Amino acid sequence: MARLNVLMTAASRRVALVQGLQRALARPGVSGDVIVCDVNPMSPAVQIAHRAYEVPLSGDPGYLDEILTICRAHDIGLIVPTIDDELPRFAEERARFEAEGIRVAVSPLETTLACNDKLATCRTLRAAGVAAAATWLPRRLPKSATLPLFVKPRGGRGGVQAFRAMTANELEFFAGYVADPVVQEFLDGPEFTLDLLCDFAGEPLSIVPRERVVIRAGVIDRGRTVDDPALIALALDCARVFEFHGPVNIQCRVVDGRPVVFEINARFSGGIPLTIAAGADFPAMLVDLALGRHVPPAIGQFRADLWMSSYETSLFFDERHAALERCTPVGVREVVR
């Protein structure tokens, strides 16, 4: 029986991902616990994990020390970071965790920094001949750029402070309103996420394109899997430009029959439940990689035209269920159930 304990950071609302990892560890011949951490003990994913810890924000100087303390206490073999802000920190310190036998599902530092910077992402892709949205800093906007244009944070996520500027006045306003903005050409066409999983050497293992039919708060609400060779080829092109390790999601729109990238997130996507349901079990593949098992590429092996329609659900518990106690020397506190 192979045993692996997994630590997932920034659990928040990622209930489906926790459950996917739990299923991966409940397969025949595999066992282990999914432990999560978060800044808020009331987060829903905290309530369903095997164990949960309250930790500081990822920008705190002691954040990785506290993560390592949890790893040592529970013999963690795999860490799954989930938010953009912490990816470069984990990438920079990956060797520190690997020295203790802990795999981190994070891409190299150069990749995480580039993918957290929408200007760098698109410029790097375009320089390599991959279709990506023309992207500029507001002060470098060429006269040839035509409205409408899209203004968004250079390092933002979740569609926060992303605006379409229809007029010169709107462009000027949004460029001043959005913090550290970039301006992108407006891509008028259906939007897709390309879920990609690579092994720890950067080899693509699985790609699932998903059409984002309805989006709510930056996350897919209704969508479907699509078997499109052009979308799969685009994901492979991106993996040739950037070295990816673990999960990645590539955002693109199809304009005049041609898919064009507008951003890349080097982490699990919010719509990963659809990809898993379509037969591309990224959590199981990631667990097997962490166990040192050979995982053969399965590009194009998924159920096409599978729809997902999401809805809200709730967990109910009293305040004592989420009480906290101090349990380690550095101050990490476990959520008591």
- Domain annotation covers residue 10: yes
Domain count of the fold of the chain: 2
- Domain annotation covers residue 320: yes
- Domain annotation covers residue 78: yes
- Domain annotation covers residue 190: no
Report pLDDT digits (tens) over 65-106: 999 999 999 999 999 999 999 999 999 999 999 999 999 999
- Domain annotation covers residue 282: no
Q: Do both 46 and 8 map to the same domain?
A: yes
Report pLDDT digits (tens) over 139-158: 999 999 999 999 999 997 76
DSSP states along 225-281? E---HHHHHHHHHHHHHS---EEEEEEEEEETTEEEEEEEESS--TTHHHHHHTT--
Cα distance between residue 86 and residue 105, in whole Å = 12
C-alpha closest to that of 101 among 131, 144, 149, 68: 68
- Domain annotation covers residue 206: no
Amino acid in the structure at residue 205 = L
Torsion angles phi and psi, residue 335, rounded to 5: -75, 120
Cα distance between residue 266 and residue 245, in whole Å = 8
- Domain annotation covers residue 38: yes
In the block, residue with structure tokens 């999914």: 34
Q: Do both 68 and 150 map to the same domain?
A: no
pLDDT in tens, the chain (337 residues): 899 999 999 999 999 999 999 999 999 999 999 999 999 988 999 999 999 999 999 999 999 999 999 999 999 999 999 999 999 999 999 999 999 999 999 999 999 999 999 999 999 999 999 999 999 999 999 999 999 999 999 997 767 889 999 999 999 999 999 999 999 999 999 999 999 999 999 999 999 999 999 888 778 889 999 999 999 999 999 999 999 999 999 999 999 999 999 999 999 999 999 999 999 999 999 999 999 999 999 999 999 999 999 988 888 877 665 544 333 434 566 665 5
Q: Do both 96 and 20 map to the same domain?
A: yes
Give me the residues paired with residue 185 across strands: 149
Q: Do both 100 and 55 map to the same domain?
A: yes
Q: Are 160 and 125 in contact (CB under 8 A)?
A: no
Could you say which of 142, 167, 185 is where a domain stops? Answer: 185
Q: Do both 92 and 140 map to the same domain?
A: no
Could you say which of 185, 203, 227 is where a domain stops? Answer: 185
- Domain annotation covers residue 69: yes
Domain of 82 in residue numbering reads as: 2-105+314-335
Q: Do both 78 and 11 map to the same domain?
A: yes
CATH of the domain at 42: 3.40.50.20
CATH of the domain at 159: 3.30.1490
Q: Do both 17 and 89 map to the same domain?
A: yes
Cα distance between residue 304 and residue 281, in whole Å = 14
Q: Do both 138 and 101 map to the same domain?
A: no
Q: Do both 96 and 163 map to the same domain?
A: no
C-alpha closest to that of 215 among 150, 262, 159, 175: 159
Q: Are 283 and 20 in contact (CB under 8 A)?
A: yes
Helices and strands (H, E) in the chain, number of each type: 11, 19
H runs (alpha helix) in 49-167: 63-73, 87-92, 94-98, 109-115, 118-127
Cα Rg for the chain, rounded, in angstroms?
A: 20
Could you say which of 165, 185, 205 is where a domain stops? Answer: 185
